[in-house]
């Protein structure tokens, strides 16, 4: 069992930065790939980024490549999402999830409650 708690969301101006954190409980955190997803009002949840269990591999959706960076610290049971050059279109609730290496939400076993990111234009 893994419990996930996101933090770090907030209101930021376009062009600004935020760093999201996702703290995990449970001794099996380091065995899971970790993903970040987001959901804007009226839209479906969409994949943002993923990192492998040991941090050796990462993958991003096209619209965040070069702007967002995913990382993890297994000693701290935490995964991060550094978001730079934020755009109004990045406004959404951001969720972290633990599961298999996949961009599909249904392949993840555990989800956090989400953290709101609002980018003002």
Beta bridge partners, 56, equal none
The span from the CA of 117 to the CA of 99, in Å, is: 23
Q: What pLDDT is attached to residue 1?
A: 84
Q: What is the pLDDT along the chain (121 residues), one digit of tens a residue?
A: 899 999 999 999 999 999 999 999 987 888 999 999 999 999 999 999 999 999 999 999 999 999 999 999 999 999 999 999 999 999 999 999 999 999 999 999 999 999 999 999 8
* pLDDT the model gives residue 121: 86
Question: According to the model, what pLDDT value does residue 26 have?
Answer: 82
């Amino acid at each position: 069992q893994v419990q996930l708690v996101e933090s770090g969301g907030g209101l930021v101006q376009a062009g600004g930065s935020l760093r999201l954190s996702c703290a995990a409980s449970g001794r099996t955190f380091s065995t899971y790939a970790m993903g970040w997803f987001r959901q804007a009002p009226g839209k479906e949840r969409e994949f943002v980024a993923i990192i492998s269990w040991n941090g050796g591999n990462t993958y991003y959706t096209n619209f965040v490549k070069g702007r967002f960076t995913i990382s993890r610290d297994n000693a701290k049971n935490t995964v991060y999402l550094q978001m730079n050059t934020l755009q109004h279109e990045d406004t959404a609730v951001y969720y972290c999830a633990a599961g298999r290496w996949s961009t599909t939400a249904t392949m993840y076993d555990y989800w956090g409650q989400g953290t709101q990111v609002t980018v003002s234009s």
